[in-house]
Chains A and B, each alone.
Chain A
Amino acid sequence: DVKVTQSSRYLVKRTGEKVFLECVQDMDHENMFWYRQDPGLGLRLIYFSYDVKMKEKGDIPEGYSVSREKKERFSLILESASTNQTSMYLCASSLRYEQYFGPGTRLTVT
């Protein structure tokens, strides 16, 4: 069965902290994605990766970076967390066009 896992379901961090959100998939997928979901805005793409060490900016990359050192793991990094980064973060992976999602991490920055 297809599985995408995220390191935390809930996370509370302080403004200015460096935050790591981890995503792991067990399907040998090449493509991995990070989204954030905010009320009334739908899922918005932050970054995606189509291969190890390859990444591309999505629609809202400001304030974020990513790391993909191994095929199965894609990390989202908030270099200096701010309150406007409080959101639900979803990771997904795909081989081609069908994306499989993790359960999400609800991040609160205080």
Chain B
Amino acid sequence: ILNVEQSPQSLHVQEGDSTNFTCSFPSSNFYALHWYRWETAKSPEALFVMTLNGDEKKKGRISATLNTKEGYSHLYIKGSQPEDSATYLCAFTTSGTYKYIFGTGTRLKVLA
């Protein structure tokens, strides 16, 4: 059974702090790793899709790295703002399938 784990489960930070979360996934049959941001009462929004070992992606204050050999990805938020408060989900895709395997998410709360 393929398992994706995210840590920490939840996190409270002060406005302006930088923070990071981890997604661990099986390293065999890897195809892609996806990060989503899910705000309350909204649809999950795609942040990044990463496919290559060593990939680094950036979108504003948010960035992500990927290590497929050891099976982990980090998501970083620089200078957290209250609007960054959300659940951050990662999902793993294996070759030959369009199915995602999701982690349980990291709930981030940024305090003003």
Of chain A, the residue at the smallest CB distance from B4 is A42
**Majority SS at the chain B contact face:** loop
**Chain B contacts for A104, CB-based, 8 A:** 43
Residue in contact with A50 in the complex, picked from B34, B49, B93, B98, CB distance below 8 Å: B98
Cβ-defined contact, A90 with B44, below 8 A:
yes
B112 at the interface (CB under 8 A from A): no
Docked CA distance A101–B38 (Å):
10
B1-18 residues with Cβ-Cβ distance < 8 A to A are 4, 9
**Chain A contacts for B41, CB-based, 8 A:** 103
Docked CA distance A35–B46 (Å):
16
Cβ-defined contact, A58 with B44, below 8 A:
no
Given contacts A40-B104, A94-B98, A97-B32, is CB(A103)–CB(B43) below 8 Å? yes
Chain A 11-44: CB-based contact to B (< 8 A → 1; otherwise 0): 0000000000000000000010101000011111
What are 21 A-B contacts defined by CB distance under 8 Å? A33-B100, A35-B102, A40-B9, A41-B104, A42-B89, A42-B102, A43-B100, A44-B102, A45-B99, A48-B99, A58-B99, A90-B44, A94-B98, A96-B98, A97-B32, A97-B93, A98-B46, A98-B49, A99-B46, A100-B43, A103-B43
> Which A residues form the contact surface with B (CB < 8 A)?
4, 31, 33, 35, 40-45, 48, 50, 58, 90, 94, 96-104
